[in-house]
Amino acid sequence: MSFLYEERASSSVFVDVVWHTQDTSDGTYLASADARWDLIFTVAAHRHRVLLSGPSTQPTPVPYRTGNRNVGIRFAPGAYFTHVPVDAMRDRTEQLTMPSPELFLLGGSTWPFPGTDDGLVDALVESFAHVGLLARDDVVEAALDGGPVPLSPRSVERHFTHATGMSPRQVRRIARAREAVARLQRGEAIADVAHHLGYADQSHLTRELKRLTGYTPGQSQGRDEPV
């Protein structure tokens, strides 16, 4: 891995994790499908950049450059931005306009660029939610957690489609693939991962990981990059 990576949990109900990277060389990282919204802030030598990514259904190449520092917000499963239909952002990353190095545009408003300050990142998320730019669908998270959802399957599917642009089945497939990679990176045997996560066999696991992460189970065991 040619970048330093760390992540932390967030106290915000809208956020899964906040991660930091520092790029130590030039290269390209293949990000797994995540079915989540992501917001990324880059501090480079001569410019700043903000990227908004919609929920992804496939691996996405992410270039990195020596010396860049990045902060990313991976939003919670049921969190979504309200200013654009999710279908318009699924499998798409948009570079946001920056009127100055300290400001960026999102949802028709100007926001302060937080840099790598975690406190400013957390405050920015709460500001998005306060004005209604960021919302959260509790049904999505409850359904993924396996809790009781007093709705019909069709109603649950509508909630998933509105927040993620995907069906519950698609989101669960992606979550299972990411969990499989995490287990493989912790040293679990391929056969055990396939069995414990309900894959039909190792071939099924291989097909799913290749399709959703870009790597086979064997390759995943040797990766030191984040999922």
Residues 57-73 have pLDDT tens digits of 999 998 888 999 999 99
**pLDDT reading at 10 higher than 80:** yes
Provide CB contacts within 8 A for 205, sequence distance 6+: 180, 190, 193, 194, 197, 199, 217
Average pLDDT, the chain: 93
Q: Is the dihedral of CA 208, 214, 215, 216 positive or negative?
A: positive
Residues 127-144 have pLDDT tens digits of 999 999 999 999 998 898
Provide CB contacts within 8 A for 216, sequence distance 6+: 206, 209, 210
The Cα 160–Cα 140 span in angstroms is 6
- Model pLDDT, residue 1: 55
- Which pTM does this prediction carry? 0.90
Q: Measuring CA to CA, which residue among 149, 145, 150, 123 is closest to residue 134? A: 123
Residues 155-205 have pLDDT tens digits of 999 999 999 999 999 999 999 999 999 999 999 999 999 999 999 999 999
Q: In DSSP terms, which residues pair with 8 in a beta bridge?
A: 18
Q: Measuring CA to CA, which residue among 167, 141, 164 is closest to residue 86? A: 164
